[in-house]
Structure 1
């Protein structure tokens, strides 16, 4: 009996195997097509039950989830199919780099890509052939086949030998970027070429410097060498502790990789090394540059703006300053082109606006996408100079075309008009889709589909042969459908991953259908589609718009005049854009702050508006370090476009940032603060009362609160004293019982004779009693600096404003000169319930917040080694030739060095308002790329990086201005 049972199981298993082999033979052609049409997916983890296999060993069951597309902001398209197993048919393997990860992080990056929706493991589904739409400029969609880049290893996963008994550790290789066909290519005939022709004659920017005296030269060169020494120390620290990584942590002597781990500080500093004459360090750095592999990174996405201005700009500038083609450092151009080819993928969108956080891995990069619905102006508009200069050097117009289309989009938007004409709101929709119109179309489409469902429900149910219960069991995407499309029996169902307003996700057209041959419900992964789009240009992405020259907006405006210079004045759009920006800033943003010494300085404010700035503008009189570049921009723009008034404005803007440096205890400007504007920029004088009222918006009610408190306190004390007297009087009115033998009361309580010594002493004691009552109140109304100091915490000098202040109304100053009795010491204690007066409140705010005089608040007190202020100082020196800018710059340098120096480099600090700020252990790459470079150039000879021959990008990378077409 036992043997019979055992063979019965064998026979049952044999029948199942034969049936499955028959199925494999039927579907082999279908699986070969699918294996060649889906992008890469990693093999799934082993399951408890291995799938049936054919004679060839190919898997005939797919339990991998079908995945959608993630949100647009992080650009994480999901894998469409995961297909484990092995196939004897030939497999196409793309030409990709595959290396084993050296760190666990390489593995983690690949395993972190989750789906937004998936089919449950174990569901009986198969996937039929699907294509990917390729963009045709004439509007015709063509199906293309994506390459297979995953070859499952038969030694791991479900197909591994003894997979059930022996756990097999999967092998993972680092994923590299690879070149893929574009979905939305620009036809060769429509590529925008670089402007041709001889560059226009442009007015000189630099001052005609005279020969300096020996003494002036000695001072200048001494300062220049001290700046170089700071660079040498910072570079040595980076080289020793962080070589090959993005940034040095100068306090702990470790490293950080906030970008993609491509040695940001090293690439960013190449031109600085050359300019400072550190050629040995430059050549050693080139050996590290050659090792950088831009096809693989430590981040799942590339921050396009930062990568372009630091890496691409750094490589191109180093190539230019080291002699270009004749310099012999071809590796710099090779690496620049390698990186540029990767970055070109970000422009592959329907409207050619870039995706600013680019998922470079092939399974993601191969998916079509749209640009962001909420991009910052700075990130979008600050790619122009780097790609333009690369196009000039390589004579490849495609690099210029990519950024020229962005400029055209800004120009077209400017022609349509923004709420503040000439400048653009901080956050913009770059997707190219009118979502309002799109929603209306989708609503009409849903209504039409609803009507179609109603008309075809019964017929569809009969035709498909799928019951409502059977279909509903497999309807795992129902949560993604409109309610009106759920639970409809018999109808072939569609599940579309809808694109949200902030998503570049695709519509993955997933269809479930019953196969008439097998009777099984199958899943067809259809074409990957972008959502329908009603075309539009750039537009605001929010209800309220912010306009400023600060962060997230700054460098786009900086690039308009600089791009005009780089193109030799041959593209007039950049001049028009700059002049409109200049006028808008002068009309809407510039303000003169009220400062103690009445200095004539300017800053640029921020405006928040809902579209009617004339009536609803909320103006914030900010002071930010990032905005300090604007002095140099106005100065240079005024020179090249011959607007002398703008040069004068540039001086005052630069003076403003210098004043902000001079105003703090450290001598360093804070990241962000607010000031009090003058009502009239031409007649502006310090007003202490107005300043204090600005510090304390509740100044009108604060003194009234103190007076009311004093009145209530006086009433309470008077009532308590009255109650006490009444109680004492009542006790006196009741004579105590006299015990037998006790003397009469008159014998003890009889008043002493009037005028006697005993009568005088008794009177003094009675007069002291009110000290705990009325007299106490009178004394309490007098300012006691020593007591108030505990509460208000202001200095002796600030307390001087409060000495001898008038007592509360109805009281006189106390004339009691003697020391109170010991039992009345509690009257000297501070009253914790008493509100502060306006004067006290202001003094307390200034003391506790350590506000420099003139500052209303300091919201961000850090200094992270920023260059913008010294950048404008350098521009002013080179434009005006006035040596006062060198003196101002030297004070700035000494203050920065004093508070940021560490053994291995220089560190950001947490609080510029503290005499002893804490070092934050961060040394941004722009410290050696920008800040030290500008200080060095401030004390160099004027012909070193002359503004008449070079133009610097926003990371201080100098590009050679053209003297012939294409800048050759």
Structure 2
């Protein structure tokens, strides 16, 4: 018995061990199941054919949906269980050694004459383009190796080319992809706005009828053409070597940047430039990279910048498709990728009023939620028209045109209602479609009515708690009152509604709106008008059961961004390209949509009346610039003008010239010349030979009678010129009086040792001198040299501490310190010119960088093609030489920090538009005029040519 008790413990522990072994075997099976659920790419098989809209990454794994929560869901998927075959040992799969190859090596190894399979797609498909441009496909082994950053990324520079920022992602982390959901606010099929139909209208010729050039002229032109192309070749090779597949090259450090979504912005943006310059091999190599782009995901941004993505990516793909021959060219991948991107971007228009979301959160959790457009700039909202219109023309899909035609209609309707400056629009726009002011006024009125009713009920002794209308609360009423306390408003009771309630008439900003009261409920037409709730803005699902605040939208069209803010009107940044698109869209539609001509005509009239001015310059050059107007809504009485000179506004010369030709307004062509020559003057005026981003000048009182006035120029440089000149006059008078007192004092006998105890005149003069000195230092402009000394040695307050430390004077020292003479207006102006490095005629140049912008050479090119005047080629060549000399690096060209210096610092940034626009315009300036003729092509704001209808 004792022996049995002794061994029962061993039996117990043996049972436990057996049980543990059993569970271990079960866990091993589960682990094998989990391992089988990891995407595995066998060497002998290819993924299934990729359908439209799918991408390389999508062909490997399904897009995440709402039900996917990570590994738990993947393990529960029965289709993933037991995926590893019994005769396969995954632990023995080895990756073969691979010799690094370039895209050129791949192209050279494949013989286009060999028949290849076209049934497989995805990551194992490599597109090979032969000399004739026919696309062929072939299958290569699919090898599961980690992604590598080509160029500097492969050298351990990280996702932005910086040390210590290696891109790494846990193997178990699934990549999020955009997913298409049913629209919340679809346009009924019978309400889709179709493309205008019919034969294009006769349009006057735009280009000059060039004569045959002489051999000397041709030789000179071709020499310049080759030098421009050489810059393109160096920049392109630098990008492909150090930034392939990334957005931008950092040309000084030889790294890369991804300021957009990491979709190879420079590569896509430059596709049509490669074709136009005859770089066909580079073009075909680039297409291999284009096919790899996955527009459904991004590792760099959670939001798609819609404006930039549309003009650079979508415009770049469509233009490359057009210039390479369209369908006949054989480069269908360009249209395929354009459609892939367009389908994603169409989601931005899914709002109640169909105005776009301009920063689109592409993640499925946000795409699935209803949204409403918010604030926008004129350029962001109005510069989508050409790209979607051209895509609609190519695909015959009216939905793309409908999306942007509604924006044009909204601008057209707003113009008919009227803006502060008729014909143009304020920079900031409210695109929500809801009158926030009217909503708040209605809420405040309802709150007042409710408060009055509560008072009456209390007086009558009724039950107050049960009398509050459904859908309101005290906080809502209070906030509505407080927010608009003191706001001038008028309302009156309108006619009864169908349900017996009455409307409220609101007069705000000169506009009458009839809004339903709270009792009237939401009109039937608003039943689909769902704005994004506060829960959505915090990232919660729209299915959340938390009560949501009910918002009532009082419909309105486009309007100013803020009721109380200052309105700005200009042709510069955030506004420019919308006006540029009015005449270009008219051309693209063959003159069949008259709204664009009306919008252009009215905009040009407004620019002539309000914005155009002639600057006062030393050589009396007859040039023009466009100003900026600030107004509170009544420019006739409250407008203030900024006489700006901005690089972005330089597109205006080309716009006036193009519009003047197609609408037969010769005066506009002449204005275009003067606007373009203004930007040329700005280039010629700086030490670097390059125009600054932003500056100001002195306007002429009369455009036809303007002469250089140096005194007037000094006064503009010194806004306090009257005060400064008065101080000088006062100082001179005091000095004269002081000298007179000195003479009188020397004629009178004085006691030795008491010379500093005079009548008080000298003490007063001394104190005045000290005071003047203090004031002068406060008004003096900051000098670079003095600032560096102050920073190294420190500064002292002479008005306080120094007064308590006045050194003792000897008995023989009877002279008071000489006061410092203040600066005159002229001296102040000269000091400003010196300290700010201002070129002659410039009042300020606070934005003195240059980021390789194209707008100035763009207008020079338009002027040459329109007028045939070869002097524009000479002006353009001087610009080219200056830009290249200041921006060239070993592998590209870099933005610079200060064009006011002879040797500015390079900032290590090369925007994609350097290859896409700036070098393209320089090249076309010296090419045969028939290359991208303005009578056959129309260019978007990123210089991407679209084929005009015939």
| Contact in 2 for aligned 1:319/1:333 (Cα 8 Å) | yes
Partner of 1:891: 878
TM alignment of 1:815-854, pairs within 5 A: 833-854=820-841
Q: Distance in 2 between matches of 1:791 and 1:405?
A: 52
2:274 corresponds to 1:267: no
Question: Which moved further from structure 2: 610-619 or 318-327?
Answer: 610-619
Q: Distance in 2 between matches of 1:792 and 1:97?
A: 57
Q: In the TM superposition, what whole-angstrom CA distance separates every residue of 1:262-316 from its partner, at most 9, and x where no partner exists? A: 0000000000000000111100100000000000012010100000000000000
The alignment partner of 1:332 has SS state of helix
Answer whether contact 1:98 1:173 (CA < 8 A) is retained: no
Deviations 1:91-145 (A, max 9, x none): xxxx998979x9xxxxxxx9xxxxxxxxxxxxxxxxxxxxxxxxxxxxxxxxxxx
**CA offset at residue 900 of structure 1?**
0.3
Question: Residue 218 of structure 2 aligns with which residue?
Answer: 217
Deviation (angstroms), 1:436:
1.4
CA contact (8 A) 1:695 1:842 kept: yes
Matches within 5 A, 1:161-176: 171-176=172-177
Other-structure match for 1:685: 707
Q: Any conservation in 2 of the 1:369–1:530 contact (CA below 8 Å)?
A: no
**Aligned residue in 2 for 1:904:** 891
Cα offset for 1:441?
A: 3.0
Does residue 922 of the first structure (1) align with residue 924 of the second (2)? no
Specify which of 537, 540, 544 is matched with residue 560 of structure 2.
540
1:702 touches 1:837 (CA, 8 Å); kept in 2?
Answer: yes
Among 345, 348, 352, which residue is 1:346 paired with? 348
Distance 1:213 1:902, change over 3 A: same
Q: 2:361 aligns with which of 341, 347, 359?
A: 359
Q: 1:400 to 1:835 in 2, by over 3 A?
A: same
Q: Aligned with 1:623: secondary structure?
A: strand
SS, match of residue 208 in structure 2: coil
Cα contact 1:665–1:914 (8 A) shared by 2? yes
| 1:594 correspondence with 2:616 | yes
Distance 2:232 2:672 in 1: 29
Q: SS of the counterpart of 2:545?
A: strand
Match of 1:572 in 2: 594
1:306 aligned to 2:328?
A: no
Q: Are residues 1:702 and 2:703 paired?
A: no
Distance 1:216 1:155, change over 3 A: closer
Q: Distance in 2 between matches of 1:458 and 1:916?
A: 77
Is the 1:356–1:379 contact (alpha carbons within 8 Å) kept by the matching residues of 2? yes
Answer with 1 or 2: which has the greater Rg: 1
Q: Which residue does 2:933 correspond to in 1?
A: 946
3-state SS of 1:650 partner:
helix
3-state SS in 1 of match to 2:705: coil
Is the 8 Å Cα contact of residues 531 and 551 (structure 2) preserved in structure 1? no
1:430 corresponding residue in structure 2: 431
SS of equivalent residue, structure 1 residue 258: coil
**Contact 1:794/1:843 (<8 A) preserved:** no
Query: 1:198 matched to which residue of 2?
Result: 199
| Structure 2 match to 1:153 | 71
Change (3 A) 1:863 1:824: farther
Query: What does the per-residue CA deviation read over 1:440-465, in whole Å, with 9 as the maximum and x for residues that have no partner?
Result: 3333555688879998787899xxxx
Describe the SS at the equivalent of 2:633: coil
**Shift, 1:228, TM fit:** 0.2
The reply on whether 1:506 has 2:506 as its aligned counterpart is: no
Query: How far is 1:153 from its partner?
Result: 3.3
- Evaluate the alpha carbon distance shift between residue 952 and residue 456 of structure 1 in structure 2; reply closer, same or farther with a 3 A threshold: farther
Q: Do the aligned residues in 2 keep the contact of 1:422 with 1:581 (CA within 8 Å)?
A: yes
Say yes or no: does 1:325 pair with 2:243.
Answer: no
Q: In 2, are the aligned partners of 1:629 and 1:869 still within 8 Å (CA)?
A: yes
Deviations 1:21-44 (Å, cap 9, x if unpaired)?
A: xxxxxxxxxxxxxxxxxxxxxxxx
Q: Determine helix, strand or coil for the equivalent of 1:274.
A: helix
CA distance in 2, matches of 1:949, 1:826: 87
- For 1:595 and 1:648, the matched residues in 2 are separated by 20
User: In structure 2, how many angstroms separate the alpha carbons of the residues matched to 1:223 and 1:170?
Assistant: 52
SS of aligned partner of 2:249: strand
- The total of aligned residue pairs comes to 691
Asked if residue 855 in structure 1 is aligned to residue 842 in structure 2, the reply is: yes
> What is the deviation of 1:915?
0.7
| Corresponding residue SS for 1:857 | strand
Q: How has the CA–CA distance of structure 1 residues 828 and 589 changed in structure 2, closer, same or farther, with 3 Å as cutoff?
A: farther
SS in structure 1 opposite 2:846? strand
Secondary structure in 2 matching 1:673 = strand
Q: Which residue of 1 aligns with 2:571?
A: 549
Q: Which position in structure 1 is the counterpart of 2:283?
A: 282
Quick check: 2:586–2:596 contact (8 Å CA) kept in 1?
yes
SS in 1 for 2:844: strand
**Aligned pair 1:867/2:894, yes or no?**
no
- The 2-side partners of 1:877 and 1:436 are apart by 50
5+ residue gaps, structure 1: 1-94, 103-109, 111-145, 158-168, 462-477, 486-502, 511-522, 734-771, 777-789, 796-822, 964-968
1:440 aligned onto 2:441: yes
Aligned CA distance change for structure 1 residues 958 and 96 (closer, same or farther; 3 Å): closer
Measure how far apart 1:833 and its partner are: 4.0
TM-fit CA distance, 1:846:
1.1
- Tell me how far apart the structure 1 counterparts of residues 912 and 315 of structure 2 sit (CA, whole Å): 13
For residues 329 and 342 of structure 1, what CA distance do their matches in structure 2 show?
A: 22
Q: Report the Cα distance in structure 1 between the residues aligned to 2:725 and 2:448, rounded to whole angstroms.
A: 65
1:394 aligns with 2:395: yes
TM-score relative to the length of structure 2? 0.68
Counterparts of 1:761-772 in structure 2, within 5 Å, are none
Structure 2 CA distance for aligned equivalents of residues 562 and 98 of structure 1: 36
In 2, Cα distance between the equivalents of 1:691 and 1:559? 37
**Do the aligned residues in 2 keep the contact of 1:676 with 1:856 (CA within 8 Å)?**
yes
2:447–2:478: 8 Å Cα contact kept in structure 1? no
Task: Give the 3 Å change call, closer, same or farther, for CA 902–279 of structure 1 in structure 2.
Answer: same
Alpha-carbon distance in structure 2 between the residues aligned to 1:381 and 1:709: 58
Whether the 8 Å contact between 2:615 and 2:625 is mirrored in structure 1 is yes
Alpha carbons of 1:684 and 1:325: their partners in 2 closer, same or farther (altered >3 Å)? same
Following the alignment from structure 1 to structure 2, what is the Cα–Cα distance between the partners of residues 385 and 874?
Answer: 21
Q: Give the CA deviation at 1:155.
A: 9.7
CA distance in 2, matches of 1:524, 1:265: 42
Whether the 8 Å CA contact 2:193–2:401 is kept in 1: the answer is yes
**Are the counterparts in 1 of residues 697 and 843 from structure 2 also a CA contact under 8 Å?**
yes
Q: Give the direction of change, closer, same or farther, for the CA distance of 1:449–1:335 in structure 2 (3 Å limit).
A: farther
Deviations 1:169-227 (A, max 9, x none): 99532211000011000000000000001111110000000100000000000000000
Q: Deviations over 1:723-771 (max 9, x none)?
A: 89989525699xxxxxxxxxxxxxxxxxxxxxxxxxxxxxxxxxxxxxx
**Structure 2 gap segments, 5+ residues each:** 1-52, 76-169, 481-529, 538-542, 756-761, 767-779, 786-810
Counterpart pick for 1:617 among 613, 622, 639: 639
Offset, 1:704: 2.3
**Partners in 2 of 1:206 and 1:530 — Cα distance?**
58
Return the alpha-carbon distance in structure 2 between the equivalents of residues 290 and 826 of structure 1: 89
Equivalent residues of 1:244, 1:288 under 8 A apart: yes
Q: Which moved more, 1:616-625 or 1:399-408?
A: 616-625
Give the conservation status (yes or no) of the 8 Å contact 2:896–2:904.
yes
